[in-house]
Amino acid sequence: MIKKENVTFPVRELNDLEMKGQLFFPADFDSTKKHPAIVVNHPTSSDFNQTSGKIYATKLAQHGWLALAYDSPYQGQSAGEPHNSEIPFARTVGVIAAIDFLDTLDYVDHDKIGAMGICGGGGFTLNAAKIDKRIKAVAGVAPANVGMVYRETFGPNNDALIDTLNDMAQQRTAEAQGAAIKHIPVLPASQEDRIKAGITDVDIEQAIDYYLTPRGNDQYAPNQFVYTSLAFDFGYDPLALADKLATQPLELIVGDIPGSFASYRFAYEYYDRAATQDKELTVFSNTTHYDLYDQPEATDKAVTKLDEFFTAKL
């Protein structure tokens, strides 16, 4: 039986902003020994009560790993205002702060720390690993480049993207002068709204089924973003400098059914770009992005692959 412990730790790059998370302990945990550990980063618009903690950290602990799942700055139960902002720098230093926290624990083997993330959390974790070499092995499950996703969503062409940035600039000015913070929904509120909007993409359809139904809904993931925060994502690309800085052992896991979140495309791009020669791209057949969030067959296979990878590299 695994044990969970609530934890709190600061992000020094964000003026010691307080992050909340949970440590997942394997059944045979012994606090007098040194244990390798894995940081688990949640998807965009998510929190650790969902797939990162409920599925991946739990299953990794069942495989014998000490795992840390947490809520990123400005999201979930972690601090940060305006809340529900999606800021790539904050998401990246959140991974690094989680490793800072592990470095304070006597029972962690500080030379054997790995990191992984799901969806956007996968991209942010890969981004962190480029600059934090305490991460000795890194993995992404259905990893997404949210910069590319939001650029393509809001700017089907460059003029549209610049128009959106101009609108965000005007909104930010209004908020600086006292207007209310503008939030926008991450997803249509229902499948009916999706259909009315003419959206047929499999990732959006399954995201609604995951996030907005009892299957995955959580009070700390309210299906909204601070509108102006997405401007930071427009300028974000985890592929940048991967050919120079992505040097750790790398595992990328995706399904072969592509959608607008483009994890299939990004995984191939990152695999090709990464500087390391110690890398693997694992593609599960007949598997979607959201199958890798919580569907038993897909997640069991993913965790088995992660266990093999981290065992070999840590």
The order of strands in the sheet holding 66-70 is 3-11, 17-25, 66-70, 35-41, 108-118, 135-141, 250-255, 279-284
Listed range (199-208, 219-228, 254-263, 275-284) with the worst mean pLDDT? 254-263
Indicate whether 94 pLDDT > 80: yes
pLDDT tens digit string along 113-139?
Answer: 999 999 999 999 999 999 999 999 999
Q: Looking at residues 72-77, what average pLDDT do you find? A: 98
pLDDT at position 264: 84
Confidence at residue 89, expressed as pLDDT on a 0 to 100 scale: 98
CATH superfamily to which 3-155+230-313 belongs = Alpha/Beta hydrolase fold, catalytic domain (3.40.50.1820)
* Mean pLDDT calculated for residue range 172-197: 97
pLDDT at residue 155, as a whole number: 83
User: Where does the pLDDT of residue 200 fall: very low under 50, low under 70, confident under 90, or very high at 90 and above?
Assistant: very high
Distance CA 255, CA 144 (A): 12
Percent pLDDT > 70 in the chain is 100
- pLDDT of amino acid 249: 98
pLDDT digits 0-9 by tens, 252-300: 999 999 888 888 899 999 999 999 999 999 999 999 999 999 999 999 9
Model pLDDT, residue 156? 77
- pLDDT class of 224 with cuts at 50, 70, 90: very high
**Are 17 and 35 a contacting pair, CB within 8 Å?**
no
Question: b/e for 2-32, b at 16 or more Cβ within 10 A?
Answer: beeeebebebebbeebebbbbbbbbeebeee
Q: What angle do CA 175, 181, 183 make, to 5 degrees?
A: 140
Nearest one of 10, 8, 74, 46 to 220, comparing CA atoms: 46
Check whether 109 has a pLDDT greater than 90. Answer: yes
Q: Which residues contact 186 (CB under 8 A, 6 or more apart)?
A: 44, 45, 211, 223, 224, 225
pLDDT band for position 1 (cuts 50, 70, 90): confident
CB neighbour list of residue 162: distance below 8 Å, 6 or more residues apart? 155
- The residue type found at 48 is F
Which pLDDT band, with edges at 50, 70 and 90, does 65 fall under? Answer: very high
Q: In this predicted model, what pLDDT tens digit does every residue of 139-176 receive, in sequence order?
A: 999 999 999 999 999 987 899 999 999 999 999 999 99
Cβ atoms of 96 and 34 within 8 Å: the answer is no
Q: In this predicted structure, what is the pLDDT of residue 100?
A: 98
* DSSP collapsed to 3 states, the chain: CCEEEEEEEEEHHHCCEEEEEEEEECCCCCCCCCEEEEEEECCCCCCCCCHHHHHHHHHHHHCCCEEEEECCCCCCCCCCCCCCCCCHHHHHHHHHHHHHHHCCCCCEEEEEEEEEEECHHHHHHHHHHHHCCCEEEEEEECCCCHHHHHHHHHCCCHHHHHHHHHHHHHHHHHHHCCCCCCEEECCCCCHHHHHHCCCCCHHHHHHHHHHCCCCCCCCCCCCEEEHHHHHHHHCCCCCCCHHHHCCCCEEEEEECCCCCCCHHHHHHHHHHHCCCCCEEEEEECCCCCCHHHHCHHHHHHHHHHHHHHHHHHC
pTM to 2 decimals?
Answer: 0.96
